[in-house]
Copies of this chain bind each other. A is one copy, B any other.
Amino acid sequence: MARLGGCWAFLCRCFFQYETPKILLIRSKKVGALNRLVQALILAYVIGYVCVLKKGYQDTDSVLSSVTTKVKGVALTNSSQLGLRVWDVADYVIPPQEESSFFVMTNLIVTMNQTQTRCPEVGVPERAASPCSLGAVNGYRSVQTGKCVNFSDSARTCEVFAWCPVETDSEPPNPAVLANAENFTVLIKNSIQYPKFSFGRRNILPDVNTSYLRNCIFDRKRDPHCPIFRLGDIVSEANEDFQSMAVHGGVMGIHIRWDCDLDMPESWCVPKYTFRRLDNKDPDNNVAPGYNFRFAKYYKVADNVETRTLIKGFGIRFDVMVFGKAGKFSVVPTLLNIGAGLALLGLVGAIACGDSNASSVNVEAAFSLTVNSWHRVLCDVACYV
C-alpha cells in the first residue's frame, strides 16, 4: 500500500516534471540567414520533393489488369510447294489464344507428308569419324538404324528412323513468306482495376463508339487512344524494320501504362502505349537470332496411316505488359509526412542553434560556448577517419 503510494507519487512527479535549457536570444544577420537557408532547404525538400513530386499525401494502389487480343488480316502466298494459298488468323496465330501475348507467324519452312519410317538423314554425310551406328541419336530429330544409304547420287548419309522425309534445315526464305503481316491489325482490349479505390477503366475509352472502332488505327499523333494497332506501326515505332524482323522473327513488347491521379477527373486517366523490341538484335552478337519454333498438323490418310505436316514457324511474339500506379488523397500518409517534415524542421532549428553559437562566441565571450554542431560533426569525422 505504502509502496503503491510511493510509486504513484513517483509517476506524478515524473509526469509533470520537464526540463528547459536556459536560452539566450541573439540577433545576427549572418547567422540568421544561414539558419533560414537550412530551413529553406528542408522546406524545399518536404514541400517540393515529398509533397509535390512524390505525392506524399496520397495512398497508392497497383494495377490489376486483363488483356485480350484479336488479330485480323489475310495474306496471299504463291509458292511452288504450297501453290496459291490464303492465310487467315486461324492459320498464323499459334496458339490461338494466350494470356497476355500473341504470336504472329511471318515466315515458315514447311515439310509435308511426313510419316514414321526410315529414310536417309539430310545434310550429315557419313564420315569415318562418325560411322552410322544403330540407335545413335542423330541431332535432335532422328535415330540411326546403323545402315548407310544413298541420299543422292553424289552423297551417302546414315539411314535414320524418323518422321520422314526429314526437314531440310536451311535458312528461312527472304523476303518472308507472310511479309504482308506488316498490314495485319490487332485489337487489344485492356481492362484495368485499382481494387483499393474500386476504380475500373478500359483502354476502349467511354467516348469511343463502334463506328470509330471499326475504322480507326492507332496513331500517336492523330488517334492516340485507338486500341487497334497495325503490326507494322508497332515495329516501326520501336525503330525496327518489320520486313527484316519478319524473316527470323523476334519478340516485341507492347507496354500500356496507366498512371492515374484519382484526385483528378477520371477522364485524365488514359493509357499510354509504348513499344520496344525485347529480344536482342545486336549485330555483333547475333548468335541464334530471332524466334522460331516447330509445330505439326497431324492427318490420317486413307489407309489409316498417320502423317503430319511439320512447320518451322518464324514470327513475332508480342508481349503485352500493363504497368500502372494510382494515387488518391488519404489521411494517414498525409499525417505521417507532415509529422516527419515538422520533426525535420525542429531538428534544423537545433542545428541552427548550434550555428548561432559559433558566432555568438564572438558576440559574447562571457559564455563558454563552444564548437557548434557542424564543427562537432566535422570533428567526429576527423576522429573516425
A-side interface residues toward B, CB under 8 Å? 10-11, 14-29, 31-33, 35-36, 39-40, 43, 45, 64-66, 68, 70, 72-74, 76, 84-86, 88-91, 93-101, 103, 116, 135, 137-143, 161-163, 183, 187, 189, 191, 193, 195, 200, 202, 204, 206, 208-210, 213, 251, 253, 276, 278-280, 282, 284-285, 287-288, 291-302, 304, 307-308, 310, 313, 317, 319, 321, 336, 339, 342-347, 349-354, 356-357, 360, 367-371, 373, 376-377, 379-380, 382-384
Mostly, the A contact residues are mixed
CB distance from A254 to the nearest CB of B (A): 12
Give Cα A297–Cα B297 distance, bound, in whole angstroms. Answer: 9
Instruction: Check B297 against A298 for contact (C-beta < 8 Å).
Output: yes
Residues of B within 8 A of A93 (CB): 293
Quick one: copies of this chain in the complex? 3
Partner of A193, one of B10, B143, B276: B276
Q: List 18 additional A-B contacts (Cβ < 8 Å) besides A88-B162, A98-B99.
A: A19-B24, A19-B353, A21-B21, A24-B368, A25-B368, A43-B380, A66-B253, A66-B279, A70-B292, A70-B293, A73-B140, A84-B116, A86-B142, A88-B163, A191-B280, A195-B276, A204-B287, A300-B300
| Cβ–Cβ contact B25 & A23, under 8 A | no
Which of B85, B96, B143 touches A294 (beta carbons < 8 Å)? Answer: B96
The answer to whether B345 and A346 touch across the interface, beta carbons within 8 angstroms, is no
In the bound complex, do residue A317 and residue B99 qualify as a contact, i.e. CB atoms below 8 Å apart? Answer: yes
**CA–CA, A213 and B36, complex, Å:** 65
Q: Do B86 and A116 touch across chains, with their CB atoms under 8 A apart? A: yes
| Chain B residues in 8 Å Cβ range of A88 | 140-142, 162-163, 294
Assess A20 versus B14: contact at CB under 8 Å? Given A161-B86, A213-B288, A349-B376: no
Please tell me if the beta carbons of A193 and B86 are within 8 angstroms of each other in the complex. Answer: no
Asked whether B86 lies within 8 Å of A187 as measured between CB atoms, the reply is no
Complex-state Cα separation, A11 to B378, whole angstroms: 12
B-chain residues with CB within 8 Å of residue A142 when the two chains form the complex? 74, 86, 88
Give, as a whole number of angstroms, the nearest-CB distance from A281 to chain B. 9
Contacts A74-B137, A379-B14, A384-B43: A23 and B369 contacting too (C-beta < 8 A)? Answer: yes
Q: Knowing A11-B383, A287-B213 are in contact, say whether A97-B23 is a contact too (CB < 8 A).
A: no
Q: Which 10 A-B pairs have the closest CB atoms?
A: A66-B278, A96-B295, A21-B21, A16-B32, A72-B140, A90-B296, A299-B300, A20-B356, A95-B95, A202-B280
User: How many Å lie between the Cα of A360 and that of B23 in the bound state?
Assistant: 11
Q: With A276-B193, A297-B298 in contact, is A345–B17 under 8 Å at CB?
A: no
Q: A11-B382, A99-B317, A373-B346 are in contact. Are A143 and B17 (CB under 8 A)?
A: no
